[in-house]
Amino acid sequence: MNDTGNSGAGPRRPRQIEAAWALTLAAVATEALIWVLGVFVVAPTGLDELTEHTGRSGAITQLALSAGVLAVFLACWLAVAARMRAGRGWARVVLTAVGALFLVFRVSGLGTDGIDPAWWAVVNALPDLLAAAAVVPLYLPGARAHFPSRERRAA
């Protein structure tokens, strides 16, 4: 195995691509962890609040639906990131758009309700910041060769 995480005789991925992949994995894992913490650990928990409004059965149903939607979203995010890692230019564009949207959402305050403690707001911002940071290496000079342009593909 070489230093970029590839095994076998295939060409090595640029360090920038591997950095973007690692940042994306960190963002996905952090997003899942924050969901679990918000639902079950950080007071007032999502489970407690939903139980108060919809009863125990309704809360469990809503959280199961929420977990399912989150799982699908994270799986799609990883699938697109895997396509980026494989050199698909469209995936780089999708990750760029998603990273920018996450950052705009966070900076504009659209994702906050204003009642969370400051430390929780910072923790909640981590996946958005990691997603935005993952985009940066994709446009560094060393990563360009990983995404063939139309002229290079036609040749």
Neighbours of 134 (CB within 10 A): 25
Tell me the residue length of the chain. 155
Calpha distance 49→44 (Å, rounded): 7
Full DSSP string of 29-54: HHHHHHHHHHHHTSSSPHHHHHHHHH
Calpha distance 73→44 (Å, rounded): 25
> Do the Cβ atoms of 96 and 138 come closer than 8 Å?
yes
Q: Give me the percent of the chain exceeding a pLDDT of 90.
A: 61
Which range among 21-25, 106-110, 120-124, 141-145 has the greatest average pLDDT? 21-25
Average confidence score pLDDT of the chain: 86
Confidence of residue 43 (pLDDT cuts 50, 70, 90): confident
Q: Is the pLDDT of residue 112 over 60?
A: no
Calpha distance 86→44 (Å, rounded): 42
Per residue in 58-104, pLDDT (tens digit) is 999 999 999 999 999 999 999 999 999 999 999 999 999 998 988 88
- Give me the mean pLDDT over the 100-112 stretch: 77
> Do the Cβ atoms of 91 and 83 come closer than 8 Å?
yes
Stronger pLDDT, 6 or 52, i.e. the higher one: 52
> Do the Cβ atoms of 127 and 102 come closer than 8 Å?
yes
Which pLDDT score, from 0 to 100, does residue 149 have?
73
Confidence of residue 118 (pLDDT cuts 50, 70, 90): confident
